[in-house]
């Protein structure tokens, strides 16, 4: 066992903690809510470090809940359809180092993976670890699912993980957030994160990591289970653009009617560790007049639509009369949207997006996409890689960077080689015969105006002019404005997480936490953790999400090893010793086929791949609705 731990580069203090649990025999239960990247990263790491044939791992079990019948979350419903390589990207080659069968243990970790029900949600993990007997302290805690200890360690033998997901599908952002034309991202190893952990990168993808984890009997996936308290503030629905449900009539509100709905507190008796990794599933609203007009969409809704997310299967997108599109925001998602609008359909039809979306994209008349930002060229949030992909679209027409902005941008990027290279790429114009793509700066939308020919849809945007202040860090209005015609607006100005319980403190769109430890007014909540976008906000890529999950898992191990109350610890919420089993609604759902386990997800996965083959695709063809998924699962 020690050689395995050394291979994983665990610090010496971790080895001492493992030895300290050798004499315990209590079960460890982990619950994971959501099946996106952050959920299965944590779960798989936990199972990897606690092999089933170890004293600790033999007592571990993991349940994963997903409110859709399918796993993968954002990987399935957020990644652009023409980016299958992104969906195939390796999220954690570390898991490959442990490929042994393990038996279910009495210790159960419930991981609640991302509530992929709403767009790009990183999974939430509920970990439940019962304390050693006798418990060293009331603060015995859980371990993150994939980053914990081997099953042949004293702690790993008592560990189990349950992963909850409100969609029937796992993978979260990897399934529903990565661009469809980025299959290499889904397939590419997360080498930067792996290098940081001194692990060897390989071609294994994020989705394969989840599949690998399902081979460990201590892990359980529970899809189509929606965790939320069910009041108006935590309705577990998909409200438009961060607004209250119903205020934007053309954007549907989805309540996951086919899912098993449970309040968060219903899980309390069954787990002693809770990991919340359900991502950022709401849009940040612009809060300006006209957002309720037709053809004004939050990027989250638009990306979820073309990625086949069930919550947006009925989004009223008609591109047949859309020629010009304004995208508000200059991050990677904004460029994803622009690329999808200008990408030849011949490329997209090979991806995993539903045929109904392909049919809509085949009729698009879009020939002018403007990506508009409130600051300057030196402050853009997108990466050079994303910009280069835009410039390589067949026949693209790109005017380059306006001359009046070049001098200031060069001064601002002086000494920053990455920004300098990016600026050089922005400066180069391209005069192809195809669609036009432009970057526009120092503009903020003031209002969206109705069309003169149809008052129900957008026809123009009033843009306010800005100037940079405070060393370029802030944009300040000059008081001047201009109005320009447009046929469609996509708002891409960020995301925030969804409150699912009054128990969880929420601020600035995130769960309040210290290094992944959830904090309330009374202090840190023992054995309740959060990771991914719901913890740190919608920043970073899959590799950084993995690093974050690993760090939280290490903190869980630290907490489990401590005796007595932790510094800053508040009132306990989870029991020190968890009951066996799961909520009655979950057990009943498993018997009736409403809750999707790994076997049922395998049927959905197979059916989607077979559907893709029938239509000549290189990838699967995703099911659009939960009902289709449940039919395939059962």
Q: Could you read off the pLDDT of 300-328 as tens digits, one per residue?
A: 999 999 999 999 999 999 999 999 999 99
> Is the distance from CB of 587 to CB of 149 less than 8 angstroms?
no
Q: What pLDDT is stored for residue 230 in this prediction?
A: 66
Domains annotated on the chain, with CATH = 27-281+496-592 (no CATH), 286-493 (3.50.50.60), 600-633 (no CATH)
Q: SS3 of 489, please? A: strand
**What is the number of other CB atoms lying within 10 angstroms of the CB of residue 7?**
13
Q: What is the mean pLDDT of residues 482-488?
A: 98
Q: Give all strands of the β-sheet with 274-276 in edge-to-edge order.
A: 274-276, 523-530, 517-520, 513-514
**∠ CA 425-428-430 to the nearest 5 degrees?**
120
- Per DSSP, the residues of 586-610 read HHHHHHHT-SB-HHHHHHHHHHHHH
Closest CA to 531 of 280, 190, 276, 282: 276
> Is the distance from CB of 367 to CB of 393 less than 8 angstroms?
no
**Cα separation values, 519 from 403, 505, 506, 571, 574, Å:** 49, 7, 10, 10, 14
Closest CA to 623 of 84, 77, 59: 77
> Is the distance from CB of 463 to CB of 445 less than 8 angstroms?
yes
pTM of the predicted structure, to 2 decimals:
0.75
**∠ CA 291-294-295 to the nearest 5 degrees?**
90
- What would the pLDDT profile of 380-422 be if each residue is shown by its tens digit? 999 999 999 999 999 999 999 988 899 999 999 999 999 999 9
**What is the number of other CB atoms lying within 10 angstroms of the CB of residue 397?**
18
Q: What pLDDT is stored for residue 384 in this prediction?
A: 94
CA 303 vs. chain centroid, Å, equals 13
- What would the pLDDT profile of 438-480 be if each residue is shown by its tens digit? 999 999 999 999 999 999 999 999 999 999 998 878 999 999 9
- What would the pLDDT profile of 30-82 be if each residue is shown by its tens digit? 887 777 777 777 787 778 777 777 777 788 888 877 777 877 777 777 777 76
The chain-wide mean pLDDT, for the chain, equals: 79
Whole-angstrom distance, CA of residue 13 vs CA of residue 1: 15
Q: Which residue has the tokens 């991981």?
A: 111
- What would the pLDDT profile of 113-134 be if each residue is shown by its tens digit? 333 322 222 233 343 333 332 2
Token output for 58:
């033999």
Q: SS3 of 194, please? A: helix
Q: Which residue has the tokens 């630290």?
A: 558
**551 vs 139 pLDDT, higher one:** 551
Whole-angstrom distance, CA of residue 150 vs CA of residue 1: 8
> Is the distance from CB of 463 to CB of 481 less than 8 angstroms?
yes
Which residue spans within 390-457 are E strands per DSSP?
397-398, 430-431, 436-440, 443-450
List the end-to-end C-alpha distance of the chain, in Å, as a whole number: 40
**108 vs 492 pLDDT, higher one:** 492
- What would the pLDDT profile of 141-160 be if each residue is shown by its tens digit? 223 444 555 677 777 778 88
């Amino acid at each position: 066992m020690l050689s395995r731990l050394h291979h994983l580069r665990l610090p010496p203090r971790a080895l001492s903690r493992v030895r300290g649990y050798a004499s315990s025999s209590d079960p460890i239960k982990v619950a994971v809510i959501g099946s996106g990247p952050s959920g299965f990263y944590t779960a798989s790491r936990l199972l990897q470090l606690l092999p089933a044939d170890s004293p600790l791992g033999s007592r571990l079990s993991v349940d994963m809940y997903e409110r859709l019948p399918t796993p993968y979350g954002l990987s399935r419903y957020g990644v652009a359809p023409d980016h299958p390589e992104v969906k195939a990207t390796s999220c954690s080659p570390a898991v490959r180092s442990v490929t042994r069968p393990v038996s279910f243990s009495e210790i159960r970790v419930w991981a609640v993976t991302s509530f992929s029900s709403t767009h790009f949600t990183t999974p939430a993990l509920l970990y439940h670890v019962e304390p050693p007997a006798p418990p060293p302290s009331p603060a015995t805690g859980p371990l993150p699912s994939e980053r914990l200890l081997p099953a042949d360690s004293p702690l790993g033998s008592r560990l189990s993980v349950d992963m909850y997901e409100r969609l029937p599908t796992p993978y979260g952002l990897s399934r529903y957030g990565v661009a469809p034309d980025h299959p290499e991202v889904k397939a590419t190893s997360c080498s930067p994160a792996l290098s940081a952990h001194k692990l060897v990168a390989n071609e294994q993808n994020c989705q394969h990591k989840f599949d690998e984890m399902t081979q460990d009997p201590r892990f359980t996936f529970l899809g189509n289970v929606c965790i939320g308290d069910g009041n108006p503030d935590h309705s577990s629905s998909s409200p438009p653009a961060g607004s209250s449900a119903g205020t934007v009539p053309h954007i549907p509100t989805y309540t996951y009617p086919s899912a098993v709905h449970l309040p968060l507190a219903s899980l309390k008796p069954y787990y002693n560790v809770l990991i919340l990794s359900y991502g950022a599933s709401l849009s940040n609203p612009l809060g300006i007049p006209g957002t309720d007009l037709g053809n004004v969409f939050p990027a989250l809704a638009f990306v979820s639509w073309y990625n086949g997310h069930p919550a947006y299967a009925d989004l009223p997108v008609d591109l047949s009369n859309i020629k010009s599109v304004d995208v508000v925001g200059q991050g990677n998602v904004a460029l994803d949207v622009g690329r999808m609008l200008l990408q030849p359909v011949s490329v997209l039809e090979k991806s995993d997006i539903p045929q109904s979306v392909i049919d809509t994209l085949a009729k698009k008349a879009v020939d002018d996409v403007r990506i508009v930002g409130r600051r300057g060229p030196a402050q853009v949030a997108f990466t050079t890689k994303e910009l280069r992909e835009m410039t390589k679209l067949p026949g693209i027409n790109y005017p380059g960077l306006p001359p009046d902005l070049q001098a200031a941008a060069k001064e601002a990027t002086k000494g920053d080689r990455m920004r300098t290279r990016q600026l050089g790429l922005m400066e180069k114009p391209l005069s192809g015969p195809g669609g036009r793509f432009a970057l526009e700066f120092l503009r903020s939308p003031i209002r969206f105006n109705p069309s003169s020919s149809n008052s129900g849809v957008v026809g123009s945007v009033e843009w306010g002019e800005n100037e940079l202040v405070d060393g370029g860090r802030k944009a300040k209005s000059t008081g001047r404005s201009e109005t320009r015609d447009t046929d469609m607006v996509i708002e891409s100005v960020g995301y925030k997480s969804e409150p699912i319980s009054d128990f969880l403190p929420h601020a600035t769109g995130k769960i309040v936490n210290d290094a992944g430890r959830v904090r309330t007014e009374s202090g840190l909540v023992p054995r309740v953790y959060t990771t991914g976008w719901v913890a740190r906000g919608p920043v970073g890529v899959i590799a950084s999400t993995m690093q974050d999950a690993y760090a939280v898992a290490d903190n869980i191990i630290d907490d489990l090893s401590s005796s007595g109350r932790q510094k800053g610890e508040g009132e306990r919420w989870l029991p020190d010793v968890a009951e066996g089993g799961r909520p009655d609604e979950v057990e009943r759902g498993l018997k009736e086929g409403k809750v999707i386990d790994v076997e049922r997800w395998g049927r959905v996965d197979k059916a989607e791949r077979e559907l893709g083959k029938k239509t000549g695709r290189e990838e699967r063809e995703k099911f659009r609705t939960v009902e289709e998924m449940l039919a395939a699962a059962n």
